[in-house]
């Protein structure tokens, strides 16, 4: 293959081989014209502690607008651009004002006083009109195509928003609702001028947050740049922040280890040793308010019998699962919600692992061997598939066999809604860190497990109607005891929030509410 | 003769090849060596396949432990020679289940899915292909349009969509594979039938008064089966690997069933810390797929040289 | 005559494409799975769900939805993604270059490695090297792609730190994904090249060429390769399916923002318009490639032209 005879060329005709060769040349030229490595930026003197921070996250925010986003875990990223009226202090459940400086209850709702001098990224100053537009757009029936149904449902109580003056507005919820404010913590305020754009506002969101939108490629990355006019002086500390979207665990871990990112979320417990073994990396954990549990359908056999549900609580080795699969991180649930929240009941006890007691209860109930339909998600919660598999094995040991269906969360959740399972794994979190958030879980109208207890309904209504926190705490303590002992679920553990960080990362700490903020973070 | 598309050419006969068989192709030693390798492919491939089939049948007796039994305290223990215990020869997985037993039981899933899919696709493809090739005309046109539509389909997407929508289960997997692979068998059968149709023995049988069905069953089908077997062999290898891929995407046989795909999907979290969870099922997968590939390759080389150009 | 069959070809292609779109529409609508429910989280009230379903038109009877869909399609409107609230066509177009880049380099790598291997095997037919390469090719075919990808990441990106782990933007980030993807094709491509060349080497006109006094190499290059290319090109055309399948998995492992990843997420989320859009695109690509391959075949083998 070394000799190539020259072929006499017919004029005007380009030989096939030449064509092929030139195509190859052009192609490789185009490819090589790209930089082999990313070019270095010239360092300039700046007011920021560091120029660039790249972090790896496991879920895609998808839409950069809290009114439209179906992804509750993407809220953290959106919050860097859009800010809510108030945020919760995850350690004590108290509201901290962000865009709203102060507030007071009215007879049928709340009055908000906005902070002065806050500017949107387009230079406009924040005013009550913007809050009015944001809230109105959610309940506006013309927007039903793009407003997320859950958020719409939360705002259903809202009757009207009245603007008193430039910085004051009143929210009318048709009757006083103590917990309504906590739902506002999940809503990013958008400028009233966004009305013209409707849904496409999300393609270039304008907010009041510490960072301005630069670029978002769904499935790849979100890049934001510091807002020089941010109302909190001294923040943010990093000029440019990039969220790299890396859903694959191994890929995300590898990115941290290779130094491409300085932070990753959702570190699987089994990978902790690997990260800690590195001198330049560390692992930080925090217990969240997300409680993992097995929901049991309360309205038909076999779980309509409380003793059968109790038996399941004894049959599941939550300690083994917690130690083995969760690496001993997080905590076993001892009450329906954690101690940082209002009305925590410290008198309740978790059920011990006692399979023989479980079998006895089942025999007494007349169901010594039974076959159920079990469902579980895959990839939504930490090691959720493993947890499901462990639970199934443990149930089998006491005579409860199952048809298993483990699948991607969206499809799984559809089946949950359609009542296709007798038992399923789920993890609820208290998004507003308020017991009233649990109304959706346990009220007779909306419980996915078909749990119906009129006492519980009554207590929920009472707890929300009072503005006296001591009174509310007492009501919720009673509620907690009832729900716990009714065992509508098999209670298990609070999910830990495990993050991998570079030791150079400063100004960041994990939060109990699963939110991840880099506003005060920089690279040393 | 009607103008056919390139793919149709490739599927039936190669026009590049001259009508007669090649003769005196290179030194005799090379020819003997090739024949040896090919037949070796058949023997080795065939033996491995039989071994795997035996393992699948006798799994409950061959496997040392229950593939579903999970001992959380013993999770992630290494293989016996690497620091683990003799109780878990190839180590244990993330739920403390024995890897060796799960690999052995995995042969059942892979073979079941592979066999049923190929048989199903083969039956569908054979029927449609023979009908199209034998009767020609309108039936042929319609069936060819149908196969063209299927071939234009991004089959992987179709497989994903069907499994995702119907739900992952053994039955649905087989359905998906049948739907996505029958086209190849149809094309092959059609091509072979077209060729056979012109042969003398068909005309002779016709003259003797044989009915169409009799002709098809007794003469056409047996001759078509040969090449189909080769394609089927490659098909099983591909199906087994695709099942693993679907398992990786969470759309395979539902856990906790011990399929190799599931094990690979679980093991991907532990590739660096507990390599044994993914290496052994990966090896088993490769060996099984290779066995079928080598077998098919060997049979093809040994039997019909004309088929060398058929993809 | 050529023009007439060209027209028939195009018509044929159009019919096939329509068939594909119809099947996908039916598939998505008839199988159990309500996309509206997928768009809500545990605490959404039923009334909000009903309102959304009505706004999206999913409570209309099937034939109405179908007619609506096709009407939009003819206008070039592929609908709006249920999840991302953006036009499907925009989403697809934004992700296409990434997949082209990956598929193109994967295919290129496969050809660069496989064709010389195949040619070598054909020339040195029967030798130890030939047998070895054939065995390796067959083994490569039996290897699961995603496994290969993860192993590559661990070795090259974590242990040796010579290449990045994931993402897209620099050439370095392209290396591992395209190597992984090329593995799906190398085995088969090498085999087919080898057998195709073998056939050609035995043909009459080759011996004629040799008899005329031309060296083996020239005969090989001028006549052999060109004719051997035919089945190889056929294979390349037909393997688009494998390539797409491999691309989906590879994109998933390396977080490569292409059509494959888009499709997986869309299917998981029952994002009907997006899935339909991607399938329509894939169908168009297949039909076009098939068409092109046919045309090139006509060019390459004069015998076919007059068949």
Banded pLDDT at B29 (limits 50, 70, 90): low
Cα A251 to Cα A257: distance, rounded to the nearest angstrom: 10
Interface of A with C in 134-173 (CB under 8 A): 141, 144-146, 148-150, 152-154, 156
Asked whether residue B209 carries a pLDDT value surpassing 60, the answer given is yes
Choice among A227-236, B203-212, C184-193, C268-277 with the minimum mean pLDDT: B203-212
Residues from chain C that touch A411, judged by Cβ atoms under 8 A, are 33, 38, 268, 270
Average pLDDT, chain B: 78
Asked whether residue A27 carries a pLDDT value surpassing 70, the answer given is no
Q: What was the pLDDT predicted at B105?
A: 94
Choice among A398-407, B145-154, B236-245, C77-86 with the minimum mean pLDDT: B145-154
Report, as an integer, the average pLDDT of B16-45: 56
**Does residue B50 sit at the C interface (CB-CB below 8 Å)?**
no
**Does residue C208 sit at the B interface (CB-CB below 8 Å)?**
no
Q: Is A426 exposed, middle or buried (0-12, 13-18, 19+ CB in 10 A)?
A: buried
Banded pLDDT at C137 (limits 50, 70, 90): confident
**pLDDT per position as a tens digit, A420-472:** 899 999 998 887 788 888 888 898 887 888 999 999 999 999 999 888 889 99
Query: Angle A184-A146-C89 (CA atoms, 0-180°, nearest 5)?
Result: 140
**Does residue A199 sit at the C interface (CB-CB below 8 Å)?**
yes
Cα Rg of chain B (Å, integer): 23
Mutate one of B1, B2, B3 to test the C interface: name it (highest C CB count within 10 A).
B3
Residues A394 and B70: beta-carbon distance below 8 Å: no
Report, as an integer, the average pLDDT of A363-385: 90
| N-terminal to C-terminal alpha carbon distance within chain C | 11
Better pLDDT: B209 or A428: A428
Better pLDDT: A283 or C291: A283
Please judge whether A246 and C166 are an interchain contact, meaning their C-beta atoms are less than 8 angstroms apart: yes
**pLDDT per position as a tens digit, A48-85:** 889 999 999 988 888 899 998 866 677 889 999 999 99
Q: Domain A287-496: which topology?
A: Dipeptide-binding Protein; domain 3 (3.10.105)
Over pLDDT 90: what percentage of chain A?
57
Asked whether residue A148 carries a pLDDT value surpassing 70, the answer given is yes
Instruction: Indicate which CATH number applies to the domain containing C122.
Output: 1.10.3720.10
Cα A143 to Cα A158: distance, rounded to the nearest angstrom: 16
Please judge whether A68 and C85 are an interchain contact, meaning their C-beta atoms are less than 8 angstroms apart: yes
Report, as an integer, the average pLDDT of C30-57: 68
Please judge whether B256 and A389 are an interchain contact, meaning their C-beta atoms are less than 8 angstroms apart: yes
**Does residue C269 sit at the B interface (CB-CB below 8 Å)?**
no
Residues from chain A that touch B76, judged by Cβ atoms under 8 A, are 270
Asked whether residue C104 carries a pLDDT value surpassing 80, the answer given is yes
Q: What was the pLDDT predicted at A101?
A: 94
Asked whether residue C222 carries a pLDDT value surpassing 60, the answer given is yes
What element of type H or E holds A281? Answer: strand A281-296
Cα B260 to Cα A363: distance, rounded to the nearest angstrom: 38
SS3 state at A109: strand
Report, as an integer, the average pLDDT of C38-54: 68
**Does residue C274 sit at the B interface (CB-CB below 8 Å)?**
no
Q: Is B95 exposed, middle or buried (0-12, 13-18, 19+ CB in 10 A)?
A: buried
Please judge whether C267 and B241 are an interchain contact, meaning their C-beta atoms are less than 8 angstroms apart: no
Residues from chain A that touch C166, judged by Cβ atoms under 8 A, are 246, 248, 251, 254-255
Q: Is residue C239 part of a domain?
A: yes
- From C98, which residue of chain A is nearest by alpha-carbon distance? A220
Choice among A471-475, A508-512, B192-196, C202-206 with the minimum mean pLDDT: C202-206
Q: What was the pLDDT predicted at A29?
A: 52
Packing angle, helices C240-254 and C259-268, rounded to 10: 80
Cα A82 to Cα A205: distance, rounded to the nearest angstrom: 8
**Does residue B228 sit at the C interface (CB-CB below 8 Å)?**
no
Residues C277 and C92: beta-carbon distance below 8 Å: yes
Of the candidates A82, A60, A80, the one whose C-alpha atom is nearest the C-alpha of residue A71 is: A60
Asked whether residue A35 carries a pLDDT value surpassing 50, the answer given is no
Mutate one of C12, C139, C144, C185 to test the B interface: name it (highest B CB count within 10 A).
C144
Query: Angle A253-A259-A261 (CA atoms, 0-180°, nearest 5)?
Result: 70
Asked whether residue B150 carries a pLDDT value surpassing 80, the answer given is no
Q: Is residue C248 part of a domain?
A: yes
Asked whether residue B1 carries a pLDDT value surpassing 60, the answer given is no
Q: Which chains touch B (3 or more CB pairs under 8 A)?
A: A, C
What element of type H or E holds A100? Answer: strand A100-106
Banded pLDDT at C133 (limits 50, 70, 90): confident
Asked whether residue A273 carries a pLDDT value surpassing 50, the answer given is yes
Better pLDDT: A369 or B145: A369
Report, as an integer, the average pLDDT of B236-258: 83
Q: Which segment, A9-23, A25-39, B32-46, C112-126, is predicted with the most confidence on average?
A: C112-126
Q: What was the pLDDT predicted at B19?
A: 32
Q: What was the pLDDT predicted at C215?
A: 60
Asked whether residue A6 carries a pLDDT value surpassing 60, the answer given is no
Interface of C with B in 141-180 (CB under 8 A): 141-147, 150-151, 154, 158
Distance, in angstroms, between A45 CA and closest chain B CA? 42
Choice among A282-296, B25-39, C234-248 with the minimum mean pLDDT: B25-39
Concatenate the DSSP letters of all residues of A133-170 into one string.
HHHHHHH-GGGTTTS-HHHHHHGGG--EEEEEETTEEE
Tokens linked to A373: 């339909």
- Boundaries of domain holding C286: 88-300
Of the candidates B163, C180, B94, B67, the one whose C-alpha atom is nearest the C-alpha of residue A249 is: B94
**pLDDT per position as a tens digit, A467-488:** 888 999 999 999 999 999 999 9
Residues from chain B that touch C204, judged by Cβ atoms under 8 A, are 18
- From B25, which residue of chain C is nearest by alpha-carbon distance? C202
Cα C90 to Cα C78: distance, rounded to the nearest angstrom: 9
Cα A11 to Cα A6: distance, rounded to the nearest angstrom: 15
Banded pLDDT at A12 (limits 50, 70, 90): very low
Q: Is residue C127 part of a domain?
A: yes
Helix residue spans in chain B (DSSP H)? 6-12, 28-57, 59-62, 99-135, 137-152, 155-166, 170-197, 200-207, 212-215, 221-248, 260-267, 276-302
Q: Is residue C293 part of a domain?
A: yes
Q: Is residue C141 part of a domain?
A: yes
Report, as an integer, the average pLDDT of A212-220: 88
Domain tally for chain C?
A: 1
Report, as an integer, the average pLDDT of B295-304: 77
Where do the domains of chain A lie?
287-496
Q: What was the pLDDT predicted at C124?
A: 75
Paired residues of A368 in beta bridges: none
Q: Is residue C57 part of a domain?
A: no
Report, as an integer, the average pLDDT of A371-378: 92
Choice among A91-100, B182-191, C280-289 with the minimum mean pLDDT: C280-289
Over pLDDT 90: what percentage of chain B?
18
Residues ≥6 apart with Cβ < 8 Å to A395: A312, A315, A316, A374, A401, A402
Q: What was the pLDDT predicted at A7?
A: 45
Q: What was the pLDDT predicted at B86?
A: 82
Of the candidates C268, C267, C251, the one whose C-alpha atom is nearest the C-alpha of residue C259 is: C251
Asked whether residue C68 carries a pLDDT value surpassing 50, the answer given is yes
Average pLDDT, chain C: 76
Report, as an integer, the average pLDDT of C280-285: 78
Better pLDDT: A508 or C223: A508
Asked whether residue A271 carries a pLDDT value surpassing 80, the answer given is yes
Please judge whether A404 and B255 are an interchain contact, meaning their C-beta atoms are less than 8 angstroms apart: yes
The size of the A-B interface in CB pairs under 8 A is 66
Q: What was the pLDDT predicted at A483?
A: 95
Please judge whether B155 and C245 are an interchain contact, meaning their C-beta atoms are less than 8 angstroms apart: yes
Q: What was the pLDDT predicted at B200?
A: 65
Q: What was the pLDDT predicted at C144?
A: 78
Please judge whether C217 and A203 are an interchain contact, meaning their C-beta atoms are less than 8 angstroms apart: no
**pLDDT per position as a tens digit, A160-190:** 999 999 999 999 998 888 888 888 888 999 9
Banded pLDDT at A5 (limits 50, 70, 90): very low
Q: Is residue C251 part of a domain?
A: yes
Separation in Å, CA A39 to CA A35, A239, B19, C166: 7, 17, 60, 18
Q: Is residue C10 part of a domain?
A: no
**Does residue B29 sit at the C interface (CB-CB below 8 Å)?**
yes
Helix residue spans in B167-275 (DSSP H)? 170-197, 200-207, 212-215, 221-248, 260-267
Choice among A202-211, B47-56, C149-158 with the minimum mean pLDDT: C149-158
Helices (H) then strands (E): counts for chain A: 15, 19
């Amino acid at each position: 293959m070394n000799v190539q005879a020259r072929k006499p060329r017919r004029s005007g005709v380009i030989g096939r081989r030449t064509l092929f060769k030139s195509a190859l040349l052009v192609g490789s030229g185009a490819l090589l014209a790209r930089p082999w490595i990313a070019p270095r930026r010239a360092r300039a003197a700046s007011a920021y502690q560091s120029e660039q921070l790249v972090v790896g996250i496991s879920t895609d925010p998808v839409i950069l607008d809290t009114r439209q986003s179906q992804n509750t875990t993407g809220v953290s990223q959106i919050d860097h651009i859009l800010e809510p009226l108030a945020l919760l202090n995850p350690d004590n459940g108290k509201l901290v004002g962000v865009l709203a400086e102060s507030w007071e209850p009215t007879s049928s709702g709340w009055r908000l006083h906005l902070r002065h001098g806050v500017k949107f990224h387009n230079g406009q100053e924040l005013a009550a009109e913007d809050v009015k537009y944001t809230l109105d757009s959610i309940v506006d029936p013309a927007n039903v195509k793009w407003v997320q149904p859950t958020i719409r449902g939360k705002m259903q109580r809202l009757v009207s928003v009245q603007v008193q003056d430039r910085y004051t507005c009143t929210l009318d919820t048709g009757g006083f609702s103590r917990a309504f404010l906590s739902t506002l913590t999940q809503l990013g305020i958008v400028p009233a001028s966004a009305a013209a754009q409707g849904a496409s506002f999300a393609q270039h969101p304008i907010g009041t947050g510490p960072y301005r939108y630069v670029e978002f490629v769904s499935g790849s990355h979100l890049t934001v740049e510091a807002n020089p006019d941010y109302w909190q002086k001294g923040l943010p500390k990093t000029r440019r922040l990039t969220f790299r979207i890396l859903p694959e665990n191994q890929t995300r871990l590898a990115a941290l280890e290779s130094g491409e990112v300085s932070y990753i979320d959702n570190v699987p417990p089994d990978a902790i040793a690997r990260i800690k073994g590195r001198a330049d990396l560390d692992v930080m954990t925090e217990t969240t308010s997300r409680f993992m549990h097995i929901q049991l359908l309360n309205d038909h056999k076999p779980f309509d019998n409380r003793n059968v549900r109790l038996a399941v609580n004894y049959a599941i080795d939550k300690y083994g699962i917690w130690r083995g699969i969760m690496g001993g991180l997080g905590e076993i649930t001892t009450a329906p919600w954690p101690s940082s929240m209002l009305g925590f009941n410290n008198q309740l006890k978790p059920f011990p692992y006692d399979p023989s007691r479980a079998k006895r209860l089942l025999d007494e109930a007349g169901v010594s061997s039974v076959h159920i339909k079990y469902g579980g998600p895959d990839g939504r919660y930490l090691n959720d598939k493993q947890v499901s598999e462990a639970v199934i094995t443990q149930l089998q040991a006491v005579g409860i066999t199952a048809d298993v269906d483990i699948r991607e969360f969206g499809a799984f959740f559809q089946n949950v809604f359609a009542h296709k399972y007798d038992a399923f794994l789920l993890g609820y979190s208290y998004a507003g860190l308020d017991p009233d958030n649990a109304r959706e879980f346990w009220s007779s109208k909306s419980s996915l497990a078909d749990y119906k207890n009129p006492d519980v309904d009554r207590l929920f209504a009472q707890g929300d109607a009072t503005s006296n926190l001591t009174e509310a705490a007492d009501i919720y303590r009673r509620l907690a005891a009832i729900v716990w002992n009714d065992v509508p679920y098999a209670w298990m553990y609070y999910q830990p929030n495990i993050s991998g960080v570079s030791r150079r990362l400063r100004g960041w700490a994990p939060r109990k509410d699963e939110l991840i903020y880099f506003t005060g973070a920089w690279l040393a | 003769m009607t103008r056919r598309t390139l793919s149709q050419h490739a599927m039936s006969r190669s026009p590049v090849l001259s009508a007669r068989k090649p003769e005196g192709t290179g030194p005799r030693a090379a020819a003997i060596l090739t024949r040896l390798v090919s037949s070796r492919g058949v023997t080795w491939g065939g033996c491995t396949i039989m071994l795997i089939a035996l393992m699948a049948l006798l799994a409950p007796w061959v496997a040392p432990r229950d593939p579903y039994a999970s001992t959380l305290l013993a999770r992630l223990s290494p293989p016996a020679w690497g620091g683990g215990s003799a109780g878990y020869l190839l180590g244990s997985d993330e739920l403390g289940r024995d890897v060796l037993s799960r690999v052995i039981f995995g042969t059942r899933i892979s073979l079941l899915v592979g066999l049923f899919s190929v048989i199903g696709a083969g039956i569908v493809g054979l029927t449609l292909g023979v009908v199209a090739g034998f009767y020609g005309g309108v039936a042929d046109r319609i069936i060819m349009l149908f196969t063209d539509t299927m071939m234009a389909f991004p089959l992987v997407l179709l497989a994903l969509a069907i499994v995702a929508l119907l739900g992952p289960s053994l039955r649905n997997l087989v359905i998906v594979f049948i739907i996505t692979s029958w086209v190849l068998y149809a094309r092959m059968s059609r091509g072979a039938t077209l060729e056979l149709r012109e042969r003398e023995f068909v005309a002779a049988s016709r003259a003797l008064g044989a009915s169409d069905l009799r002709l098809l069953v007794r003469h056409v089908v047996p001759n078509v089966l040969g090449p189909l077997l080769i394609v089927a062999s490659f098909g099983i290898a591909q199906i087994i690997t695709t099942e693993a891929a679907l398992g990786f995407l969470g759309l395979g046989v539902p856990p906790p069933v011990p399929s190799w795909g599931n094990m690979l999907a679980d093991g991907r979290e532990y590739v660096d810390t507990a390599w044994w969870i993914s290496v052994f099922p990966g090896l088993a997968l490769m060996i099984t797929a290779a066995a079928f590939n080598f077998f098919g390759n060997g049979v093809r080389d040994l039997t019909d040289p004309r088929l060398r150009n058929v993809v | 005559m050529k023009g007439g069959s060209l027209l028939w070809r195009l018509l044929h292609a159009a019919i096939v494409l329509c068939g594909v779109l119809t099947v996908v529409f039916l598939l998505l609508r008839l199988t159990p799975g309500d996309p509206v429910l997928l768009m809500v989280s545990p605490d959404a009230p039923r009334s909000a769900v009903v309102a959304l379903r009505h706004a999206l038109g999913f409570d209309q009877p099937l034939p109405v939805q179908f007619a609506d869909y096709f009407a939009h399609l003819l206008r070039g409107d592929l609908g709006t993604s249920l999840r991302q609230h953006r036009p499907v066509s925009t989403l697809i177009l934004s992700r296409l270059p990434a997949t082209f880049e990956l598929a193109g380099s994967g295919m290129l790598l496969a050809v660069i490695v496989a064709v010389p291997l195949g040619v070598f095997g054909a020339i040195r037919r029967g030798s130890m090297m030939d047998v070895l390469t054939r065995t390796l090719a067959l083994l490569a075919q039996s290897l699961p792609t995603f496994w290969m990808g993860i192993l590559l990441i661990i070795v090259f990106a974590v242990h040796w730190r010579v290449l990045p782990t994931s993402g897209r933007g620099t050439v370095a980030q392209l290396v591992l994904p395209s190597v992984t993807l090329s593995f799906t094709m190398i085995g088969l491509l090498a085999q087919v090249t080898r057998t195709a060349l073998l056939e050609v080497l035995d043909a009459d006109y080759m011996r004629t060429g040799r008899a005329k006094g031309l060296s083996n190499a020239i005969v090989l290059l001028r006549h052999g390769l060109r004719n051997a290319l035919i089945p190889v090109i056929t294979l390349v055309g037909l393997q688009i399916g494998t390539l797409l399948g491999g691309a989906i998995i590879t994109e998933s492992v390396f977080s490569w923002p292409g059509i494959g990843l888009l499709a997986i997420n869309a299917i998981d989320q029952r994002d009907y318009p997006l899935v339909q859009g991607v399938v329509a695109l894939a169908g168009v690509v297949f039909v076009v490639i098939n068409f092109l391959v046919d045309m090139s075949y006509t060019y390459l083998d004069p015998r076919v032209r007059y068949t």
